[in-house]
Amino acid sequence: MAALPEEIAPLIDEMRAAPDWRTVTLGRREYALGTLRGLPCVMTLARVGKVAAATTATAMIHQFGVDAIIFTGVAGGVARQVRVGDIVIADALMQHDLDASPLFPRFEVPLLGVSRFGTDDSLSDALAVAAASFVRAQATQLVQRYRGVIDDMPRVHRGLVVSGDRFIADHAAREAVLAAAPDALAVEMEGAALAQVCHEYDVRCAVVRTISDVADAHAAVSFSTFLAEVASAYSSGVLQRFLAQHRVQQ
């Protein structure tokens, strides 16, 4: 799953080359079904936001019987050590804009008793290996090719990613996110909703995000530039390695 076309288009194009490729339209979304790197897959655009992600994840589980979901795309970096061009693998996800207090503790999902949802260790480990391999193979080329967008050698991080239905694009909003979750590495708009659905249905999930901006006043411009020029290279590069590794393990 991804939120925007640029984040997943090369993978869908690759799937279209498979003889068993087909599409199913459901809930105003087009799901691509077929084989990718030798593995049966379903791919779709969730679109932007937590409701969109939850709706799409539920359809993936109920309509297509998936046993694992990976969300890929871009995010804003909020930790000081996270820079544009870095990759973040989520070990946990939380909704930074969820607050049902005083009825429930802030950030806790009512009636679930959970505020942070973990990802699947084996999937996240495999994504981290794939991301590190991608960085080793492509980092120098990426910095040279996208100079001015990526200024430092990319790095791979693992930790907390927070989600909310707001694009974080100013200093005050960024600091508010960090005040809510001081250990957050990145902020985006879908991952925690996906993780909640997978938690409730006992389906494995993982989230891999490329840092497109640092959630400041320049975020909108940085995001748009990164999305148009770089995002697909990262998503396809990491996931192609992940799928090849996953096929070998099977």
> Catalytic: which of 6, 7, 14, 108?
7
Strand locations in the chain, DSSP E?
22-26, 29-36, 39-43, 68-77, 87-95, 116-118, 156-163, 184-188, 204-213
Establish whether 91 is a catalytic residue. no
Q: Where are the alpha helices (DSSP H) in 146-230?
A: 171-180, 191-201, 219-229
Establish whether 151 is a catalytic residue. no
> Catalytic: which of 67, 152, 213, 229?
213
Q: Which amino acid is at 224?
A: S
Spatial distance between the Cα atoms of 43 and 34, rounded to a whole number of angstroms: 9
The DSSP bridge partners found for residue 2 are 45
Residue whose structure tokens are 């009825």: 103
Provide φ and ψ at 60, rounded to 5°.
Answer: -60, -40
Spatial contact of 186 and 88, defined as CB atoms under 8 Å apart:
yes
The 10 Å Cβ neighbour count of residue 183 is 11
Catalytic residues: 7, 213
